[in-house]
Amino acid sequence: MIDVKQITALQASTTKLWHYQGIDNTQSGLLRLICEEHQFNFLLWHEEDVARSPDVSDERIAAVKRAIDGLNQKRNDAIERIDDCLKQQLDARGIRAAEGAKLNTETPGQAIDRLSILALRIYHMLEQLERDDVDAEHLARVQSKLDVLHTQHDDLSASLQDLLSDIFVGRKRLKLYRQFKMYNDPTLNPYLYHSALRRAG
């Protein structure tokens, strides 16, 4: 059975490690896919910090925006690969959903993505507690937010564990979805295909 604590421990440890060392992924199987998906969220987080900075040029903002679009596409593709891997595990074990088994509002991959983002929020909120240039009121506000984040993380972790348990005994169905992001597709984004037509003309 997949242990969600192993997933969240991986997300927390790599978040810390990658701030001091280069990004790497030494995992295998499902955990490798989960680590890869977390890597895209890690990179997105820091690109978005640059995008919000008032001190960077418009040219730099444009480059960051393009990077964010590309990373978002990779992140969504990685979520789908996690769900694909889980489906392959179900098929390999011959597990079929029971008659009338219900769907969840999100897939395990989507829940793992939300846990990844929470790991990043918690890490960066903890950084705020280490500042020596803020007053006690600021620290109290930060601690209050951290308490909420930890509650959200605990609740989502427990819910994901329940969902995986239900899926792997057939009480719930795992149905694969595709995001079909349009903004990076030159055949679906009107600005891109109209630009291509103008250049061709």
Rounded distance between C-alpha atoms, residue 168 and residue 170, angstroms: 6
pLDDT in tens, 119-176: 999 999 999 999 999 999 999 999 999 999 999 999 999 999 999 999 999 999 999 9
Residues present in the chain in total: 201
Residue 103 half-sphere exposure toward CB, CA atoms < 13 A: 7
pLDDT in tens, 42-75: 999 998 877 777 777 878 888 888 889 999 999 9
The predicted structure's pLDDT at residue 57: 83
The predicted structure's pLDDT at residue 119: 98
Rounded distance between C-alpha atoms, residue 39 and residue 47, angstroms: 12
The predicted structure's pLDDT at residue 113: 98
Mean pLDDT, rounded, for 98-124: 96
The predicted structure's pLDDT at residue 55: 79
This prediction has a pTM of 0.87
